[in-house]
Amino acid sequence: MNPRQARRSLISSIQVRKHRPDYGLVVIACILLGIGLIVMYSISPALAAQGGGVSDNYYVNKQFIATILGLIAFIAVSRIPLTFWEKYQKILIGVTFILCLASIGLGGLGSRWITIGALSFQPVELVKFTLIISGAGVMARAVSSGSIGKLSSLKPLIITLLAFSFIIIGLQKDLGSAFVLLAMIGIMAFVAGLPMKRLLIFAGVVLFIVIIAISSTAYRRERFLTFLQPERDCATSGYQACQALIAVGSGGTFGLGVGRSIQAYGYLPESNNDSIFAIYAEKFGFIGAVILIGIVGSLLLRILNIMQRAPNKATQLMCAGVFAWFGIQAIINIGAMIGLLPLKGITLPFISYGGTSLVFSMAALGIVFQISSYTSMRQSSVSYDNERGNNESNNNWRRNSRPHYTITRNSL
């Protein structure tokens, strides 16, 4: 065996150790959930006053129930073996596809919700979760077989992505969510090692789809023109964009205070969903907005750290998908509220009002939390540099006094 082969052997020789998961992930998520509840509590009376005959606490109570369901989803998913998702991913894809079609069958063309009595469900949130599971599996198999650069190895994922994109863009008219899905898969493909030429082709196809979708629909063209010049018509098409900027600007440095929001009283549309960041900035000001962005950023950095230590390619790609999901939505939501991006109808993860989004976001975080309890380590018995390798191995074991268990990749 020549030196290069020996080095490759060393890199591929990995132990997978089980240890305490990253509870910091839970702490940060709970802080974000708490912030969401505080904001919702402060604007719930304002939302109730706009009609509907509901109590002042109606919206915060629903958000509190969604938070509890999200925590239950987090705990449940974090305890489900990762092999479960690989084993039943085809069934998951089928169920998700049926639910997407059901939303259109029950609500008509353009419908994005399944509503049964007081319960409502948005299938596109399940689509994000499903694509992370199935995309990670397909790409990981392509990487292990050395065929990640061949489209044939990614055929199942391409077919699935095209089918969901057709439903979401063509039938549900939800370009914003479709963009999030496509960007998620693109980032996962980058992490998987898809050749840059293929990535550029994929980006070109996505750009072409976005251009066609915008140019072929009047309200999308209007929304894009409003983004370019929101002040041109603040009374109609640019109303939400202008009111969002007013809300952010009126917050000043330290904000108006928790109970002193003005825009929530019917001035800013979707103040509890898409426009939640503008309401938050109005209440807590520039300092509060920076703190919130910092908390979201720390959650994303933590997910990246877990991704780097993930035990295999599949789990690494799952983490990349969740990172992309949360990161892209946060950028779009915040960017739209401060005029840097067009309005897309995208929620701010863990903060915006909405049970489906919150539950599936917490479920996705549950997968990352479970992955955080596994770390890939080089086998101490095989060392490229004996002295350095042994010292680093010993130091790693001494730094963590908790018991560790060697497990195989198959057990994941």
User: Which band of pLDDT confidence, cut at 50, 70 and 90, is reported for residue 56?
Assistant: confident
Please choose, from the candidates 39, 41, 37, the residue with its C-alpha nearest in 3D space to the C-alpha of residue 57. 41
pLDDT of residue 317: 95
pLDDT at 138: 93
**pLDDT tens per residue across span 119-152:** 788 999 999 999 999 999 999 999 988 888 888 8
Which of 384, 243, 309 is closest to 17 using CA atoms?
309
φ, ψ dihedrals at 116, nearest 5°: -130, 100
Give the pair of three-digit tokens for residue 83: 């092999």
Mean pLDDT of the chain: 83
Highest mean pLDDT: which range of 72-76, 244-248, 377-381: 72-76
* pLDDT bucket at 301, cuts 50 / 70 / 90: very high
Distant-in-sequence contacts of 59-62, Cβ < 8 A, 24+ apart: 59/272, 59/353, 62/353, 62/355
User: Worst-scoring range by mean pLDDT, 57-61, 111-115, 271-275, 351-355?
Assistant: 111-115
How does residue 15 score in pLDDT terms, banded at 50, 70 and 90? Answer: low
Separation between Cα atoms, residue 113 and residue 122, nearest integer Å = 5
CA angle 210, 211, 214 (to 5 degrees): 85
Q: CA–CA separation, 209 vs 182, rounded Å?
A: 10
**Is the distance from CB of 202 to CB of 189 less than 8 angstroms?**
yes
| Structural contact between residues 181 and 168, judged by C-beta atoms closer than 8 angstroms | yes
In tens, the pLDDT along 362-412 reads: 999 999 999 999 887 643 333 334 434 444 444 443 444 343 433 334 334
Residues 136, 412 contacting (CB under 8 angstroms):
no
Whether residue 104 contacts residue 167, with contact meaning beta carbons closer than 8 Å, is answered with yes
The 10s digit of each residue's pLDDT in 201-214 is 988 988 888 888 88
**Confidence band of 229 (pLDDT split at 50, 70, 90):** confident
Burial of 46 (0-12, 13-18, 19+ CB in 10 A): buried
Least Cα distance to 321 among 190, 187, 201 occurs for 187
Instruction: Indicate the pTM of the whole model.
Output: 0.85
* Angle at 128 (CA atoms; ends 127, 134), nearest 5 degrees: 80
Which residues make Cβ contacts (< 8 Å) with residue 371, sequence separation at least 6? 82, 306, 310, 311, 315, 318, 319
| Greater pLDDT, 9 or 287 | 287
pLDDT at 381: 33
What local confidence, expressed as pLDDT, does residue 377 receive? 62
Q: Per-residue pLDDT for 277 more than 50?
A: yes
**pLDDT the model gives residue 392:** 45
Predicted pLDDT of residue 260: 81
